[in-house]
Amino acid sequence: MTNKINMVQAVNQALINEMELDDRVIVYGEDVGLEGGVFRATVDLQQKFGKERSFDTPLAESAIVGTAIGMAINGLKPVVELQFMGFSYPAFNQIISHVSRMRNRSRGRFTLPMVIRAPYGGGIRALEHHSESTEAIYAHIPGLKVVIPSTPYDAKGLLISAIRDPDPILFLEPKRIYRAFKQEIPAGDYELPIGKAKIVQEGEDITIVSWGAMVRDVQKAVEMVAKENIYPEVIDLRTISPMDRETIVESVKKTGRILIVQEAPKSFSVGSEIVSIVNEKAFLYLEAPPTKLAGFDTIFPLPRGEQYYIPSPERIAATIQEIVNY
């Protein structure tokens, strides 16, 4: 039987897979139950598993996360949805003050096997607060893991792993590619490792690190520069934090060049951290300055301006050429 599905369906399959295997997995959030989520990621869960295991909550992100802490302490494995990353900030206090700290605070007595899912990123012509990409804020928090898939295959495998992980995970789903393409993926159970990056494409001339929806744009750019006989190595970070530094550093030692492509604002970002890692660990191998191609340090524009913001495959291709010809 074929299982050619998009990323939203892959998320849904992962949730069903885990709810079938483990009674402790509980899925809730705003519009998550009856409606199946505004993006339909939780569709059919309530019908399959009942209202006690998949349900709607009042409209309050802090309590969605705050109650999940209590549930996890009391033996359940909550997987909560925040409707958009731009609405995660009311829950920020719970995340930075408790989710990330409970294990350390109690020296391992209380742990939080929980997942906070949130669609993130721009490019869907949405209202304000529906397009942002603030993963760096969360990656900065000790005790939290931040995971971002870039394909339906990764979304399913990483989400299954995240739900089984003993630590709390912020799972950010690039909504621009929720339905952008389908992929034939295993219908059954599989895990992908948290904390490991994936070399999407091997190459010799430059290392490109990206994650989420940008990976696809990077791949388009890589096809463009192939015509100029430039062969980049493409790394999909998959886990933002804790970051797989080794894969990045080993690649840069081979290529001598690195470009980070992200849609988040350029300064104080995940890309900034990668530049820092490369400077520390591969300085003598560098043949060009480590470079970030990113969103501007501006507020994400409303739809009539968003075409300027996210780096396009053309801009990525041009930047690759600049670095290779440095």
Partner 1 sequence: MKFEDYNPLEEKVFKIMDKKGKIINTDDMPNFTNDQLLYLYRTMLLSRTMDEKQLSYQRQGRMLTYAPNIGQEATQIGSAYALEKEDWIVPSFRELGAWLIHGVPLKNIFLYWYGNEWGSHMPEDVKVLPVSVPISTQLQHATGIGMANNIKKENNVVLTYTGDGGTSGGEFHEALNFAGVFKAPTIFVIQNNQYAISVPRIEQTASKTLAQKAIAYGIPGIQVDGNDIFAMYVATKEAADRARRGEGPTLIEAITYRLAAHTTSDDPTKYREDAEVEEWKTRDPILRFKTYLENKGILTKEWDEKMKKEVENEITSTFEEIEGKADTKIEEIFMYHYETMPPILEEQLKEYKDFLEGGKNNDK
Residues at the interface with partner 1 (CB under 8 A): 26, 52-53, 57-58, 60, 62-63, 65-76, 78, 90, 93-94, 97-98, 102-111, 142-143, 145, 166-167, 195, 242-243, 245-246, 280-281
CA distances from 263 to 117, 123, 174, 235, 266 (A): 19, 10, 11, 16, 8
In the complex, the smallest distance separating the C-beta of residue 118 from partner 1, rounded to whole angstroms, is 18
φ, ψ (nearest 5 deg) of residue 279: -65, -40
Q: Residue 138: CA atoms inside 13 Å, Cβ hemisphere, count? A: 30
- Nearest CA among 86, 122, 85 for reference residue 306: 122
Closer to partner 1 by Cβ: residue 50 or 305: 50
Q: Which two tokens stand for residue 15?
A: 């949730």
214 with 262: CB under 8 angstroms?
A: yes
63 with 30: CB under 8 angstroms?
A: no
Closer to partner 1 by Cβ: residue 62 or 183: 62
Active site residue 98: no
Closer to partner 1 by Cβ: residue 128 or 246: 246
In the complex, the smallest distance separating the C-beta of residue 52 from partner 1, rounded to whole angstroms, is 5
Q: Residue 300: CA atoms inside 13 Å, Cβ hemisphere, count? A: 23
In the complex, the smallest distance separating the C-beta of residue 248 from partner 1, rounded to whole angstroms, is 12
In the complex, the smallest distance separating the C-beta of residue 322 from partner 1, rounded to whole angstroms, is 28
Q: What whole-number distance in Å separates Cα of residue 318 and Cα of residue 259?
A: 12
In the complex, the smallest distance separating the C-beta of residue 44 from partner 1, rounded to whole angstroms, is 19
- Sign of torsion, CA 228 233 234 240? negative
Closer to partner 1 by Cβ: residue 71 or 158: 71
One DSSP character per residue, 72-112 reads: HHTT-EEEEE-S-GGG-GGGHHHIIIIITTHHHHTTTSS--
Closer to partner 1 by Cβ: residue 166 or 188: 166
> Which of the residues are catalytic?
130
